[in-house]
Amino acid sequence: DEMLALVISKVTGTKTTAPTQEFRLNLILLCTTGCFAGDYFLLNLLYCACLAVKSVVPMVASEDFQFPTDAFYTKLEASVGALCLSAGAVEKPTLLTAFV
């Protein structure tokens, strides 16, 4: 199963500062077997990157999850253009490698 969980948390002030009404977008990235090989998963990850997610918390969610290799990153950067095109985003080869 491929999953992304986008968490929206309200940022408030501290005891010495006034509360603010800003919102932070945080991503809990549930890493399952083959998740980074799926276009749907990568497309949603791309949307998160375009939303200016403030932090990414990766969580390994399956015992046989394999961490990405250098070859994977090279292939991802080569294919990100097509994903950006389908998402209507500006093409930037390293856009997803910052998240993965």
Lowest mean pLDDT among 42-46, 77-81, 96-100: 96-100
Longest dimension (CA), the chain: 48
Residue 50 has pLDDT above 60, yes or no: yes
Reported as a pLDDT band with limits 50, 70 and 90, residue 59 is: confident
Residue 6 has pLDDT above 70, yes or no: no
Residue 42 and residue 83 in contact, taking contact as beta carbons nearer than 8 Å: yes
- Angle, alpha carbons 95-32-96 (nearest 5°): 0
Q: What is the pTM of this model?
A: 0.67
Residue 16 to residues 9, 12, 23, 31, 74, Cα–Cα distance (Å): 20, 11, 19, 38, 47
